[in-house]
A and B are shown apart, each in its own frame.
Chain A
């Protein structure tokens, strides 16, 4: 009897392990849909003469960020939670020594960075985090379209997706992260550490990159530069939202494995309670709220779908805490404020072609602060946390918001300054006027009769 019972338990463990491996594995192709969406969205928001160049930029940002994440980014995440000293944290799953042991693709740690029949976790976790990194890098992409050089942009994407996001995640999305343990920073769905970091990195680059030729008049007033295909843009935005479900499901830590926080309960990455059902309620309510909020003033499908994104981002930090009606209220407010915020930025001479700084940056910070108001007093870490660990508070979220702003803006501005000095940032004005595709892409986006202006084909 005992032997049979042991067999049943062992069999159940095998099932649980393969379920967990499959769960995270399937989050990866779902997150790929975010990139399908970005591709469609940005190519649609581009004029005919620049469509293929926009697509090339997206594909390369994804590819190089993934490789850089494999080689360096994963190490940043495990090495730096307690700060740049790289010391080990309370949970003993952080620090340079720990990262050297599990996250370098050379030496002994390489056994966790490739096929290993005894390891059902490292690859799927790495894959999910790699898609988080690529998503962070791609958020910046749309803001820069039609005048950023390809290789210069790829370098920006590598720095953002690998270093800026890797450090932000280490500090704010890790049980040993100093923002979590010392300030009670809480960001379940990465409103700050993905969206705000990416949005303000984009702002730092935009300030050096400058506007598209023809965006602003001599008196400083702005012209609207319409993309060539609103349908592709709006459908792309919807696909990004589909992909968000994969992103957010991968933010849950399943139970019953050696790496789980608990044997029977799913949790957030902080070890606090979380279920897929909570996401079922809250994510769709956020989408609805964001669309409705944006519709009130804009009546424009581009801004309505951007409102859906903003809706999710505005509540992402507290999806594990909010009640669905609460989510709807916050997301509706986010949808309402995106257009005025984007207009405010444009009035200051910033040409953010798709509103990425506002939708991801501003709303990401808005979401962090709103959670600081409504979630104040909730635990930031699970019961295993050391005594004296901070709880969620407005001050903690404010500190986190400032850190996320700086982790995005400062490296973005510095990298853009260096690239600009090297002549690798801005496409020359003459090329912008002719079109990027006819100058540097040996292919045609559309059939005869729809030739790109200036094309030699």
Chain B
């Protein structure tokens, strides 16, 4: 991580200003994907536990 531009001119013309612009974007995206899958799996488990109690 770190500030990706060498100058203000570079920053204002064609450089992505986000955190991770120097190569970390892929990791953040990967973590987001894993989070979504885990959250859905946990949600499904919780939902089925509630259904089972009322069968």
Contacts and interface: CB of A to CB of B under 8 A. Distances in A.
Interface of A: 64, 67-68, 71, 105-107, 110-118, 149-152, 154-155, 423-424, 427-428, 430-431, 434, 439-440
Given A115-B16, A154-B40, A439-B51, 12 more contacts: A107-B26, A111-B21, A114-B21, A115-B18, A116-B15, A117-B11, A117-B15, A151-B47, A428-B55, A434-B54, A439-B53, A440-B51
A329 B45 CA distance: 51
Contacts of B54: 428, 430-431, 434, 439
Contacts of B28: 105
A116 B33 CA distance: 23
Contacts of B32: 67, 71
Contacts of A427: 51
Contact of B29 (A64, A106, A116, A154): A106
Nearest to A155: B40
Interface of B: 11-18, 20-21, 25-26, 28-30, 32-33, 36, 40, 43-44, 47-48, 50-51, 53-55
Q: Which 4 A-B pairs have the closest CB atoms?
A: A106-B26, A110-B25, A114-B18, A111-B16
A190 B53 CA distance: 44
Contacts of B20: 110
30 contacts: A64-B40, A67-B32, A68-B36, A71-B29, A71-B33, A105-B28, A105-B29, A106-B25, A110-B26, A111-B15, A112-B16, A114-B17, A114-B18, A114-B25, A115-B17, A115-B18, A117-B13, A117-B17, A151-B43, A151-B44, A154-B43, A155-B40, A427-B51, A428-B54, A428-B55, A431-B55, A434-B54, A439-B51, A439-B53, A440-B50
Contacts of B11: 117
Nearest to B30: A106
B21 to A, nearest CB: 7
Given A106-B25, A106-B26, A431-B54, A64 B47 contact: no
B16 A110 contact: yes
B36 to A, nearest CB: 6
B17 A116 contact: yes
Taking each of A107, A113, A117, A152, which has the highest tally of chain B beta carbons within 10 Å of its own beta carbon? A117
B36 A67 contact: yes
B45 to A, nearest CB: 9
A30 B28 CA distance: 29
B51 A105 contact: no
A428 B47 CA distance: 11
Contacts of B55: 428, 430-431
Contacts of A434: 54
B27 to A, nearest CB: 8
